[in-house]
Amino acid sequence: MEVRSHTFLGAGEDYEGAKVVLVGAGLDVTVCFRPGTREGPCAIRHLSQCLEEYSLDLEGDLREIPFCDLGDIELPLGHVESALEAIEGVVSRLVGEGKLPVLLGGEHLVSLPAIKAVHRYYPDLVVLHLDAHADLRDEYLGTPLSHATVMRRVAEILGPGRVYQLGIRSADREELDFAREWTRLYRHEVFHPFQTVRPELEGKPVYLTLDIDVVDPAFAPGVGTPEPNGITPAELLKTIHTLEGLQLVGVDVVEVNPAFDRAGLAPLLAAKVIRELLIIWARAEGSPGV
């Protein structure tokens, strides 16, 4: 494969032949603590060059998968609603043309328009949310559209019981009250709760939204809002591998902030997770040679 350092693992630009399409959404507007997630897509692409196309754990090869990287969505600076509309439009086009959208964030708010677009094509959509934070506030700093409110907005769109939240270790009382009625929230761990809920996801279209801060900041310091006592990269990857067999219809990996990660640990982990997900998805689709 020709190495193209500005794309994910040297991905080509053959959109028509691609079944999986990566696209960056470097939104960084409602961040309240550590700005810099706008550079997340670029960092994930750059650190992906450290990886092999072949996955030793899955014994699958990314070179057997027709995927492309479209670069970043052009987002209007300072206009949250317009930026969300732009993301929704791109993802809607991808899903409508039979592609698996893989969104590189960017703050977590980018998940909202992506999930809205996918839900339009899959009315029975369920969302698997891996995160340190519940993100269920009704509003934050005076706005209902924020990285801290995103999963509440998603739950309101999908309806009660359609959002599965794993690894949560930070939330306030209001968020927990909302979760009891609207979401399936599991604290701290990811792998064991996922084994519990996995049977409920079988046969349903699943959108995976991964906030990389679900991992402990000792292993992934480059995030927008770090939270101690998280999971290890090993637990995250073990969970990702058990997604095999589910119907993935959309993916995003968000909150990578390279400004606080000199070693590039968070974007490198994000890149590895994406590689594994692409191989898992391709196998479920019956792609030969994967």
Cα–Cα distance for residue pair 207/125, rounded to 1 Å: 7
Q: Cα dihedral sign for 155, 159, 163, 168?
A: positive
Residue 131 marked as a ligand binder: yes
- Cβ–Cβ < 8 Å for 131, 226: no
If you search the block for the tokens 């898992």, which residue do you land on?
280
Q: How far is CA 186 from CA 103, 109, 134, 155, 213, in A?
A: 24, 21, 10, 16, 16
- Residue among 271, 281, 241 at smallest CA distance from 51: 271
Cα–Cα distance for residue pair 212/134, rounded to 1 Å: 13
Cα–Cα distance for residue pair 58/69, rounded to 1 Å: 22
Residue 172 marked as a ligand binder: no
176: burial class by Cβ within 10 Å (0-12, 13-18, 19+)? middle
Tell me, what amino acid is at 185?
Answer: L
Residue 211 marked as a ligand binder: yes
Residue 147 marked as a ligand binder: no
- Cβ–Cβ < 8 Å for 105, 72: no
If you search the block for the tokens 């470097």, which residue do you land on?
26
Residue 135 marked as a ligand binder: yes
Q: Cα dihedral sign for 224, 212, 133, 248?
A: positive
- Cβ–Cβ < 8 Å for 102, 77: no
Residue 108 marked as a ligand binder: yes
Q: Which residues define the annotated binding site for Mn(2+)? A: 108, 131, 133, 135, 211, 213
Q: Which residues define the annotated binding site? A: 108, 131, 133, 135, 211, 213
